[in-house]
Structure 1
Amino acid sequence: MTVLFSRLSGRLEARFDAERDQLPLWLPVGFGLGVAAWFALSDAYAWTAFLLAAGALLFGALGRAGTRWGKALAIFAFAAALGCGHIWWKAERIAAPVLDHPRMAEFTGTIERFQRLPARDSVRLVVRSADTGLPPRLRVNVDAEDAVPALQPGATVRIRAWMMPPPPMAVPGAYDFARYAWFSRIGGTGRASEVEVIAPAGEPGWRAMIAGWRQSLADHVQSRLSGGEGGIATALATGDQGAISEVDAEAMRRSGLAHLLSVSGLHLTAVVGAVMLLTLKLLALSPMLALRFRLTVVAAGAGALAGIAYTIVTGAEVPTVRACVAAILVLIGVALGREAITLRLVAVGALIVLLFWPESLAGASFQLSFAAITAIVALHEHPRIKALLTRRDEGLAQKVGRFLLALILTGLAVEIALAPIALYHFHKAGFYGALANVVAIPLTTFIIMPLEALALLFDLVALGAPFWWLTGQTLSLLLGLAHAVAETPGAVALLPTMPMPAFALMVGGGLWICLWKTKWRRWGLLPVAAGAFWALGTPAPDLVVTGDGQHLALRTDRGGFALLRTRAGDYVRDMLSETSGYEGELAAIEDLPTAACSADLCAAHFTRDGRTWRLLATRSRRYVDYEPLERACAAADIVVSDRSLPRTCLPRWLKADRTLLERTGGLAITLGDRPRVVTVRDRVGRHPWMRFD
């Protein structure tokens, strides 16, 4: 046994010695693993077990501290424990009161944040409440027609609104707003019926001042461009996507161009590069300055200031902060005359973001941003790709061809890296994004953003109209491309809710491929393939029930889905379709040949793996006689209701009424030889924002 361990240790030492330059890249991965473990595991016992396991690995690896692999493993284990403890500590530290039940409330408070949502014809306020009976921080939507000009950050308002606790994910795999609200310290959300400004905004603090500038810039852009073009122009200038209609946003997602709407590395690079180039060219006009000063350093400083200003104005979201940190590091490298665009730069940026905002790891924004930049840098650091794409003395046609090849390869790498993340969070991923980005990225970077910048600049002297017209035309071209690609048959792949372990396998395998350089990086293909097959082999649920019990989607014999309530809004329809991995039109249960429905009840039967299941669901609040209800329950296998049913209602297998759903949240039910129920509570665990009894 000792001989075998010595051989294994020797092989590991050789491997780690060959990869010694790559070892620092795993520090943020270890830290992120700890953060991810806290989100993935269910309760304090599991988190403690993870910390103990990481500690055991740490001390075990210290026993081989004389080897490179032992030191690396010890540091990785320490980083994992630190990450888990850090997010656990932060989640407890920022705890804030949360509403315990929905109610009508009238309260006075100060506006902290003001955001227009033109696409929804409303305004969103974050208000610090002065009412001791309410959580101190509330989010309230106000109809646009009730939004008076005095509604500004710093203003004191009196609001009457129907308030409710931050809602959890409605069904397993849907968006978890309660998690976002917890880390944002928002204790309730609702829609205002009355809004009155008691005192206008006084002298604003720096946060309110920046928010005011940002909103003024958004209003200015929307006054120059309307429709979808104005919404995208606003997003590029301020990071505010509230003016983009759902139709245009969905087209951008389906075409693989949604990353253009979120201010990140692409946009910040364009701003920093443009400012740096302009500064360098202007200063170089002076021979005295060119001879006496290092203009590259001055231009890098101007670019850094521009990047920081752009990050602040656009809301300092996680992708923008990551890109800003990376850009500053690149500029420092340029000033020092060193190559700075490396995976180590990405690792430093990731570690900084995780230290300050560890909760961002669970969001799609962080994952998409870092997956894209990691894939791009890893691709271009590969010796063969670097040799293929390196500039050389050749004709114009060859240069253009090499540039297009670089765009296509980069687009493919990004699409492959982002597909698992998009399928996990949004249950869909575009097939033609790489080709669409070949046109969209240069169009946005080299034409749209410079034109918009010129339009804003010339507006200072009231001469921006021609540039706004050109910006609108190019944005129309971008939108046209997005809609054309999105409407192409087979443009989008859809999957039902992906198991978390399958997603973890693909992410871990992808990191293994990107972060190592020697041949053992190929072993990462195994977990990627295993996770992909697991995800693809996960069947769509047969029945999806929302947490309030009002809506359910039943999988039909033809593979489609049918709704209990045909008047369900677009949000509910989209959520049920996406989590079920279905894109077609949702039918009505009452139209199925195996269903019988009244205004109050729906009964349907369907077959799965040779067994016939009978479903009973209520769809009104009206009273139903006990005896008929008792007989209907006894004849059903599954009963679903948005109210508490009497104890005499005894279905054969599952009674998902209000009493049960208040404890479990929404349900995803898969029937067959081994029926299985996945609940929202299973997904959330006992994290601080969990509100189930």
Structure 2
Amino acid sequence: MGECLLAERGRWPLWLPVFLGLGIGLYFALPSEPPAWWGGVAVLLAAAGLLLVRGRSLAPLLAASCLLAIALGFAATQWRSLRLAAPVIERHSGALMLEGVVVEVEALPDGGSRLTLGQLVHDRDDVLVPARARIKAKAGLSLATVGDRIRVRAMLMPPPQPAMPGAFDFARFAWFRQLGAIGTALGPVEVIAAGAATGWRADLATNVNEIRHAITARILAVLPGDRGAVTAALTTGDQMPISAPMMQAYRDSGLAHILSISGLHITMAAGLVFVGLRTLLALFPPVALRYPIKKWAAALAIVFAGFYTLLAGSPVPAQRSFFMTGLVLLAVLLDRRALSMRLVAWAAVAILLWQPDELIGPSFQMSFAAVAAMIAVYESLTPRQTAWRAAHPGWLPAIGLYVFGTVVTTLIAGFATAVYGIHHFNRFAVWSVAANMIAVPLTGFWVMPWALVMFVLLPFGLESLALVPLGWGVEGVNWVATWVASWPSSAVTLPILPLWAMVVFTLGGCWLCLWRGRWRWWGLLPMAVAVASMAFARPPDLLVDGRGDGLALRTGEGRLLLNGKGGRILKDTWSRRAGPEAPERWPKKSSSRDGRLRCDETGCLWRVDGKVVALVKDEDNPEKACAGADIVVSSVPLRGTCREARVIVDRFDLWRRGPHSLWLGPNGASVETVAGWQGDRPWAWHPHPRKKAKAPPPVAPREPDEKKDEEAED
């Protein structure tokens, strides 16, 4: 193995982002928040160790270098968490008068808007003032734009916690964006100072936001319905006008990535500008022979890619794609190789040090997995393709080579990202390869060129000349999405992929992609083990939300029976991660089809595998409701009753620890909670020890829909 390692000495730097990622993952895996000095001390100790082993044998030097990278990743994440620490409200606020500066405006499908506010003040002394808050306003209630200072009567609540252990943690997502509250506007949004935000950043954000909304309005005026909505998503990043059925079709067909402005769009746009300008300048021999037109084209492509990123609202996937595309074009300016594994590695290093929390999100994982896998494959395929093309001239072999490349690229990207999609969303688009083989070329060769023409014609008011043919292409992509989504089992729900399995799969994939020798194939073994772990995954038998209202249990057929309470997000999350959902309804005063569950006005009794589970909702006489039960789950405080049960989860437990997952076994039940899964972290469910309350908080309205934050795709 030592000989293999020495033979690939030039590939060692590619492992830097891997070990940085291990340090970042270590920070998030800790059961409690580490002291603030841990990161700095770890870096100093690792650096000292590296100095001590310098000049000695290779093994200690490599080990010390890896430890230093891990320490840097840990320290960068801890520093970012501390730097972004901001107040988070602890309970539902009730009505209050809120003032703040609009940081971001997002249109909603129902005509309303979602406002992100900064520089907040309000009129309640008993409610913390968060650094930022996100509120929803119904249609017609808000005309505010980025930079305006507004006043609105609203209700605020803490960022919602995961619906079950292991699910998407919006509270953690909000922590690293300083979102200390979310809420709803109770009345019209009053603009008290237009353009109140000052500074070049505020002016830039205001101007870009106005341009984006103006372009979206002009697109929808020419192209109504989903044709215009998808066109707006492709050009300005505004997905909100897309209808729910069309959005679901894109997800089920595996084409949802087309709607998110990221690697595909920015690369296509920059590539079209680069190739188009270079071709145009090449038509003038005096210019082409005397000046570096290739570098001119690369420079203009960088500028346009930056403008496109700003126009899309600068979401994180677009920022990352612009960074990588900019590095590729910068390599052209410096006469270096345009795209290589080392370039991708340095892009990953920069992102992990700047925004280390992005590592745990699906966008970072899926985008870098796809790019690394494609480069690794084409490092071997490109010389063979070149030789084959030289031996087979003509247009027909060229077409065949293009089709082959499209199929191979789609297969590589699909396989590389599928496991991460399964881990985060528990969904797999079965026919995504077929859909992408048609939709991606159509997008690249028809839709995006006409989109560039539209941008050129916009200042002259002639955008309709480009929007009409652009709409034809978008309609074709919509048709592909709808057609493929209608195929049998177009999207299937798969079992939970454990976190350890995803880590093992990632490390195996890195081993396979980053090395060049035959020993790279060893990486297939851990990848296969990780995928096989899904066959042994066992979803919970009983789920209960943080208030005891929402319940779900496993039927005799293995499906998940939900009681219909808790909201759409809860139902969707439980169905994906513990389903599939049973077709029957929860019995109110009757029995379930399998006869295991029987309910009345005091609660329900669930008899399974010789055990009795009482689901209590009667606060007046809980002892009667839980008599003879082995396991008790109660939406009301039991206050010392039901002591004969072996496992008790009551209203106080749910308040302190959040949603519960229970697995029933021969020896009783094993329980996992959201608070236990999160650990003692700043964004965690349970109250801080120094802020313990004496009683459960009152029941608050269901939190707003934050599912789109979970489903951000690259």
Q: TM-score if structure 2 supplies the norm length?
A: 0.88
SS, match of residue 646 in structure 1: coil
User: Match for residue 183 of structure 1?
Assistant: 176
1:144 counterpart letter in structure 2 = A
**Matched residue SS, 2:76:** helix
Deviates more, 1:76-85 or 1:598-607: 598-607
Shift of 1:494: 2.3
Q: Map residues 243-254 of structure 1 onto 2, 5 A cutoff.
A: 243-254=241-252
Corresponding residue of 2:24: 35
- Quick one: structure 1 residues 480 and 612, their matched pair in 2 at CA, closer, same or farther if it must change by over 3 Å? farther
Q: Which residue of 1 aligns with 2:289?
A: 291
Deviation at 1:666, TM superposition (A): 1.3
Deviation string for 1:134-192 (max 9, x for gaps)?
Answer: 22321101111322x3x112222222222111111121222211111111111111111
2:699 is matched with none
TM-superposed deviation, 1:120:
4.4
* Contact 2:616–2:636, Cα closer than 8 Å, also in 1: no
The DSSP-based 3-state class of the residue aligned with 1:244 is coil
Give the 3 Å change call, closer, same or farther, for CA 589–532 of structure 1 in structure 2.
farther
Q: Alpha-carbon deviation of 1:600? A: 5.2
Amino acid at match of 1:245: S
Is 1:159 the counterpart of 2:159? The answer is no
Aligned ranges 1:460-539 → 2 under 5 Å = 460-539=459-538
Given candidates 81, 106, 130, the residue that maps to 1:135 is 130
Within 5 A, what are the aligned runs for 1:361-400? 361-382=359-380, 384=381, 386-388=383-385, 391-392=389-390, 393-400=392-399
Q: Which residue of structure 2 lines up, in the alignment, with residue 77 of structure 1?
A: 67
The match for 1:110 is 100
Question: Contact conserved, 1:554 with 1:589, CA < 8 A, in 2?
Answer: no
CA contact (8 A) 2:106 2:113 kept: yes
Q: Who is 1:5 aligned against?
A: none
Query: 2:625 maps to which residue?
Result: 632
Is the partner of 2:94 in helix, strand or coil?
Answer: strand
Give the structure 2 partner of residue 441 of structure 1. 440
1:111-140 C-alpha deviation (Å, 9 max, x unpaired): 323433332442101112123752232110
**C-alpha separation between the residues in 2 aligned to 1:586 and 1:251?**
25
Compute the displacement of 1:544 (Å): 1.8
* 2-structure distance, mates of 1:120, 1:532: 40
Matched residue type, 1:631: K
Decide whether the 8 Å contact of 2:632 with 2:645 is kept in 1: no
Aligned equivalent of 1:23, options 12, 16, 25: 12
State which drifts further: 313-322 or 350-359: 313-322
> Cα offset for 1:381?
1.0
The alpha-carbon deviation at position 307 of structure 1 amounts to 1.2
Find out whether 1:413 has 2:412 as its counterpart: yes
Superposed CA offset, 1:584-638 (max 9, x none): 646425443333223552333233xxx33434243xxxx6432xx2022132233
State the distance in 1 between where 2:63 and 2:338 align: 27
Conserved? CA contact 1:638–1:652, under 8 Å: yes
1:643 paired to 2:633: no
Identity across aligned pairs (percent)?
33
Q: Matched residues in 2 for 1:15 and 1:365: separation?
A: 33
Distance 2:161 2:312 in 1: 28
Contact 1:114 1:153 survives alignment (8 Å): yes
CA contact (8 A) 2:46 2:64 kept: no
- Mapping for residues 324-339 of structure 1, pairs under 5 Å: 324-339=322-337
Distance 2:301 2:385 in 1: 30
Maintained 8 Å contact 1:561/1:586: no
Whether contact under 8 Å (1:506, 1:527) holds in the other structure is yes
* Alignment size in residue pairs: 669
Alpha-carbon distance between aligned partners in 2 of 1:670 and 1:483, rounded to the nearest angstrom: 39
Deviations 1:281-313 (A, max 9, x none): 333343432232111111111111111111222
Q: Is the 8 A contact 2:560 2:581 kept in 1?
A: no
Residue 425 of structure 1 and its aligned partner are, at CA, apart by 0.7
Amino acid at match of 1:595: L
Q: Distance in 1 between matches of 2:579 and 2:48?
A: 41
In the alignment, the residues of structure 2 paired with residue 47 and residue 410 of structure 1 have an alpha-carbon distance, to the nearest angstrom, of: 44
Match of 2:679 among 681, 685, 688: 685
Aligned equivalents of 2:394, 2:583: Cα separation in 1: 52
Of stretches 515-524 and 385-394 in structure 1, the one that deviates more from structure 2 is 385-394
Residue 301 of structure 2: aligned partner: 303
User: Which deviates more, 642-651 or 227-236?
Assistant: 642-651
**TM-score (norm. length: structure 1):** 0.90
In the TM superposition, residue 27 of structure 1 has moved relative to its aligned partner by 0.8
Cα deviation 1:213-261 (Å, max 9, x = unaligned):
3333333333333333333222211223223334333322222212212
Report what 1:595 is aligned to: 597
Secondary structure of 2:333 counterpart: helix
CA distance in 1, matches of 2:34, 2:619: 44
- 2:697 matched residue in structure 1: none
SS at match of 1:124: strand
**Contact 1:35–1:84, Cα closer than 8 Å, also in 2:** yes
The question of whether the paired residues in 1 share the 8 Å contact of 2:269 and 2:452 is answered with no
Structure 2 distance, partners of 1:459, 1:588, is 55
Counterpart of 2:79, as a letter, is W
What are structure 1's unaligned runs of at least 5 residues? 1-10
Once residues 580 and 227 of structure 2 are traced to their aligned partners in structure 1, the CA distance between those partners, rounded to angstroms, is 30
Shift of residue 52, structure 1, vs aligned partner: 8.5
Q: Could you tell me which amino acid in structure 2 is paired with residue 635 of structure 1?
A: G
Letter of the structure 2 residue corresponding to residue 85 of structure 1: A
The alpha-carbon distance between structure 1 residues 309 and 362, as it changes in their structure 2 partners (threshold 3 A), is same
Q: CA 1:108–1:57 in structure 2 vs 1: closer, same or farther (change >3 Å)? A: closer
| CA shift for structure 1 position 500 | 1.3
Q: For residue 339 of structure 2, what is the aligned residue in structure 1? A: 341
Farther off after superposition, 247-256 or 343-352:
247-256
User: Would the aligned equivalents of 2:545 and 2:566 in 1 still touch at CA under 8 Å?
Assistant: no
1:145 pairs with 140, 148, 151, which one? Answer: 140
Mean Cα deviation higher: 508-517 or 258-267: 258-267
State the Cα distance separating 1:24 from its structure 2 match.
0.7
Work out the CA distance in 2 between the residues paired with 1:394 and 1:243: 47
Instruction: Within 5 Å, give how 1:167-316 maps onto structure 2.
Output: 167-202=160-195, 205-316=203-314
Structure-2 change in CA distance of 1:85 and 1:221 (3 Å): same
Q: Any stretches of 5+ residues in structure 2 without a counterpart?
A: 197-201, 688-714
Contact 2:614–2:626, Cα closer than 8 Å, also in 1: no
Q: CA deviation at 1:412?
A: 1.3
- 1:56 Cα deviation after fit: 7.0
Change (3 A) 1:519 1:401: same
C-alpha distance in structure 2 between counterparts of 1:68 and 1:550, whole Å: 60
Partner of 2:695: none
Q: CA deviation at 1:641?
A: 3.4
CA distance in 2, matches of 1:38, 1:89: 11
Offset of 1:471 from its aligned partner?
2.4
Q: 1:586 to 1:27 in 2, by over 3 A?
A: farther
Matched residue SS, 2:179: coil
Tell whether the 8 Å contact from 2:616 to 2:626 is kept in structure 1 after alignment.
no
CA positional deviation for 1:371 = 1.0
The correspondence of residues 644-663 of structure 1 with structure 2, limited to 5 A, is: 644-650=637-643, 652-663=645-656
Q: Is the 8 A contact 2:24 2:356 kept in 1?
A: yes
1:124 aligns with 2:114: yes
Distance 1:670 1:212 in 2: 52
Change (3 A) 1:195 1:441: same
Query: C-alpha distance in 1, partners of 2:386/2:586?
Result: 54
In structure 2, distance between residues paired with 1:584 and 1:447: 44
